Structure 1
Amino acid sequence: MKTIFRNKKISGLLSIIPETSISFEDEINNYAFPAKQTLRLQKVMGFKKHSIVKESTATSDLCIFGLKYILNNGLLKKEEIGAIVVACSYPDHFIPPVSSIIHGKLGLSEDVYCADINQGCVGFLMALTHGFMLLEHIKDKKVVAIAADVLSKKVSKKDRNSYPLIGDAAGIVVLENCAEHNDIYTIVRNNGSLGDALTIPAGGSRMPNTEKTAELVDKDNDGNWRALDNLTMKGSDVFTFVQTKVPTLIEECLSYANLKKEDITYYLFHQPNRFMLKKLAEKIGIPYEKVPMNIVEEFGNSSGACIPVCATYNISDILKGEKHKYCLSAFGSGLTWEAMIMDIGELDFCEMLISDC
């Protein structure tokens, strides 16, 4: 899909991080590798620490924590909400949707449209895309678009490829129609034939959870133990996908918006790891300082919430101030990749919260 949204804007942005933060060194003994070998990866990949939820915390808990803060501080009124869109890959339950759980907990009007999107890494941009489309039909209301996940629960603690990188978080944005000219250029691509590069094999109707699917096995004999219930990533396939597909997408989106690379103030990307982002910046031909890369090492890869976490952590003062041109891009499960170029600034709020979840 390739389209332009007009006369719409982001008016507020919030990220929610769980208070539990665990250092990479404290988990070295989880892995079936010599500690010295594991520590060598720290510099390359950006391993430092990651923030994860408590065992009792579900995806909706982070979302509700953030939305209550927004409502209680008068940053948004319940009666202004026309829709809630939630993108996540690990919901509270199969039924009901996370958006409906949030709707009920907040006591919103029955007229509020609720929808979940089954998406991980590209979740934030997918939620924005759906939110902008919904604004065409609820012109006097606002859309709350959310990307959230607690995937630390679905990654094996004995999987050195994935567990040190994973983090939990939620990102919430308020979207609304506006009178001022503000074209938003969006391109979304999918290749479902590559979907098994990022998958949780068991748990759905194809392979329900059983005692057998919960057994940890070193299936590929690489020392990373995981079960069929756990997230499985083909790292080299994902790396190749990102390096080959994303640079051309960014170039295409810039051309679509009639912009040059230097016209963009910041490139806010999904953050799988620092190494991959450096290579991506080099491939596109943009300076490192325009691509914040510190989220994985500070909080972990929080799936679809990475971009709002990155924005609130690194440039909240800028976003609350004057407007600048940003290129947002995410890539991952599906396999899906998306780019969006828009003006963002003069936000009503732009904050990071630490939740006790």
Structure 2
Amino acid sequence: MISAATLRHDAFKAPAPTRALFPEFPPVDWADGDTVLNATPSKSGEMDIWGAIRPGSRIEGTPYVAVRPIGQGGMGDVFEVEHTALGKHFALKMLRPSHLRRPDLAARMRDEARTLAALRHPNLVEVFDLGSTPDGRVYFTMEMLAGRDLRRELRRLGSLSVPAALNLVAQALDGLQAAHEAGIVHRDIKLDNLFLCDDGSLKILDFGIAKQARRRSSVTGHGVLGTARTMAPEQHASGSVDARTDIYAAGLVLYELVAGRGPFDEVRGQEQAMRFAHCERRPPPPSTFAPQEVPAPVEEAILKAIEKRPERRFQSAAEMAATLRDCLADASKNAVKMPSPTLVSPPGIDAALWPRRLLHRATGALDSIRGRIFPLRLNVP
């Protein structure tokens, strides 16, 4: 099983010449709590994530016993844990020891837990507990999820079928609508933060940089928060964000699922060039890259979602979800159904006996062929 908090941000570093082209863009804060899928072993082969915690040991000041590490990142380490009294397993996210002197990160982790706890929805991961260890490390526990994130799913398949992609993104939009109705903007919707459960349901992960839509700015002292490859133009320009910021990101997710790549992946890895592309360049239609036919209504929905100006996008997650489900219904109606082959018996012959007679005739024909061919072969000098 994989934790609900296993997620990974794409980190981009532009070469110096590229940075010089776009000096107006502020730097992205990559120390915001990015968690990498499957903690990376150190040179010695040991998991750096463990620190003073060992498998089977009780985490001091908590009712949880550590089972295994799940992931690690700039802000939090994630473990699978077992509750000592309940015997139930959870995913526990804990502030890294190196951030004990960062009250802003501790506050952000508390905010993430409280945000998720307040947002009860089938497409959002559920939070059960919030606390801190005696040394001041904030932690919270979440449900354990069995499945994989959409980044892994896309790597496995190359691209998803249009109906599958529509279904998954519509589920994500349902979860986003619940968050938006509560005044919360996620700000980091991407494949890594969308978890496909084994039962086919989808969960939105990581509200670590989510914010109240009514707050004035999305910028902290560390710069813009988010992932350059999936940020809306207004995020890149340090402007205000609202629900339509998440809609832009959801459109990029749908684009990548059906096309197998993002609209500006030719500059992937170049932070400033990627920002310029999202702010200034017209995205090519997903059909440009897709290994499958993308129906016109689906392509129109994607391009509408990733319009540069928020007022030209879908104005709510619910509106976009409804459009995608209409596209899904149309795709189902237009799907060509191949008739299953049927064996029709000749007139006057019992249908139940026909397959047996056909087999007998085929066997007889084969025997006849053998009788004609083998003697010829035997007579060849």
TM superposition score normalised by structure 1: 0.27
User: Could you say which structure has the larger radius of gyration?
Assistant: 2
Q: Tell me which of the two structures has the higher relative contact order, counting C-alpha pairs closer than 8 angstroms and 6 or more residues apart.
A: 1
The structure with the largest helix share of the pair is 2
TM superposition score normalised by structure 2: 0.26
The structure with the largest strand share of the pair is 1
